[in-house]
Amino acid sequence: MSASKTALVTGGSRGIGLGIATALAQEGWDVIINGVRPEEGVAEVLNDLRRFGTEISYAQGNIAEAADRQRIVDTCYAEGRQLNLLVNNAGVAPNVRLDLLETTEESYDRVMEINLKGPFFLTQAIANRMLASRNSDPDFTAVIINVGSISATVASINRGEYCIAKTGIGMMTQLFAVRLGAEGIPVYEVRPGVTKTDMTSAVTEKYDKLIEEGLCVQPRWGYPEDIGKAVSSLARGDFPYSTGQVIMVDGGLTVSRL
């Protein structure tokens, strides 16, 4: 793959996003990582990714905010650069896990704006840019990958807003796949299971016990590099006739068993 291909990974400075950014950089991608922290707060991460010899840069901003999204897009396309890959990974858990009957509008709005509204409109903006790139250069290639969650189909009543947002990501993937299919831009969803990140650190003991008791077919946690491998395979073009599909990376957690 040409080293001149560029990827944007939202939420790429930690957790699953960093696992994805690392896998892409290892395969020769130039990577722009997005996050809400100031650039100096992620300098160590950026420098570590540069060990693979590709161009690594940062686009600061909150994808839930329209002005920030525009700034992210402008940064990605600065100096004539083009994006070949968008990975919608940024997302948050509820600040407090509340029972479905106690979930607040404030928590619902925050999770939906960051986890669903932000990715939708960022994808819209970048998809239009990708189409313009393809129209001006028939050899230009582009891919969009959304990072969902098993919570799209596995109900957790103490974080209902998160589940609803991830279900929305599943439909968003299909919608953009249908819209962009004839234009030669595939859209996929990667759906992780229980993954060891800072988002799950508060429930480590709970999931350690569940995994030990057989929650997953493969008796271990998932790791960011597991998702990174799946994303890099899709980005490489290994599944050219599978647009709109979901790639499960959950250790068999969602396999129906008796």
Residues taking part in catalysis: 162
- Rounded to 10°, the helix 105-112/160-181 angle is 30
H or E element, residue 22: helix 15-26
CB under 8 Å to 106, separation ≥6 — which residues? none
Q: Residue 240 — φ and ψ, nearest 5°?
A: -70, -15
Amino acid at 234: L
**76: nearest Cα among 128, 23, 135:** 128
CA distance 235 to 8: 12
CA distance 181 to 138: 15
Which one-letter DSSP state was computed for residue 143?
A: E
The DSSP line for 25-85 is: HHTT-EEEEEESS-GGGGHHHHHHHGGGSS-EEEEE--TTSHHHHHHHHHHHTGGG---SE
